Structure 1
Amino acid sequence: MKVLSSIVQLCGGDFFVRRFHRDGAIMWNFLSTSPFCRKSLSSKKDERKLVLPYRNTCLSSEDPMAESSSLKIQEATLNMIAEICMNNKSARAIELVLKKVSGLVVGIACSNVVGLRDASLRALSGLASMDSDLIWLLLADIYYSLKITDIPSPPSPELPEIKELLPTPSSSNEYLYLQYGGKSFGFDVDPLSVEIVFKRLGF
């Protein structure tokens, strides 16, 4: 991930726009499952990932990756996103997958996986430098749906209230970050993390 980050920044994002859109799923899949949650393999196609030639056995749901290894890969992926987004020369590489990646990162930042909080906040800051409105909407959608009271009134009676702009979802599947990023496994919304992220990003 560090090498990829350096290459994209060196070559510029224009060259990688379609590559990230077409092949980026390999990287974004790293961010879809918590290191502390085992995801069952649903099809034979998923049973064999990237296996070195001298390996004579395939990985299965019975041989999960170590939690610490998965955590480091996810942290490296989040750092790569942050570095690419914060560089004007390379940021364009993320444009076609901005909603997808933003949804995944918001989901991680607002979860109870504290070990990824700093890396996800750096990635969110980078993504916000590309589209701050998108990141605000994704976070506010979660934040205000959890705040039953103490929701600020609009500064003018002519402006709509938050609940009118961002109606409370009837189920967790209706959160914007899930609609954009897709279903994740083990990254459940944690109210304390949501509060921390919302304040740390200055919203």
Structure 2
Amino acid sequence: MAARKLEPGRLVIASHNQGKVREIRALLEPFGIEPVSAGDLGLAEPEETGTSFAENALLKAHASAQASGCVALADDSGLCVAALGGRPGVYTADWAERQWFEGEPGRDWYMAMGKVEGRLAELGPDADRSAYFICTLALTWPDGHAEIFEGRVTGALTWPPRGTLGFGYDPVFVAKGFDQTFAELDPAHKHSISHRADAFAKLVEACF
């Protein structure tokens, strides 16, 4: 069955992550879409109780669509490391959350990168450092209709972190065929090869 087409106009990006919102806005603007974030609208963030990227993306998108009365787009993405059995995976952001003994509440991505590196170090110098970023997009309408798209980019992890242009785990991820981390690449270049770009290409092909 053909995917539902997305008409020009307002679309809610179901995220409070400004880095993610910037990337999505840049990908959407050429299509006559007016992106506004859930954070800008003061919408609450639903608890991500899903056990897969698709479940969490749908939770966020449905919540924003219902609260705003607009079409909503949610992205659930993460880093999957081969030697760690695919972790952190759906818990990618959780690994960055500070515990009570780690300082003020919030996310510390350098700490998260250190956790991943620490687990790899425990496996020894020959540990498999291959990894991939995955992005699952959920596009939902206020009537409950939903479309799902998944993108990936493969690569390997490096240490120490390099670059200041990205966010999340970007400073330790080197995409296949590159020698710069995602945080060292020009943002426009990263957008063109990222897991999010892959998922968006599939969304655009289906819904525009």
Bigger strand share: 2
- TM-score (normalised: structure 2): 0.26
- TM-score (normalised: structure 1): 0.26
Bigger helix share: 1
Higher relative CO (Cα under 8 Å, sequence separation at least 6) belongs to 1
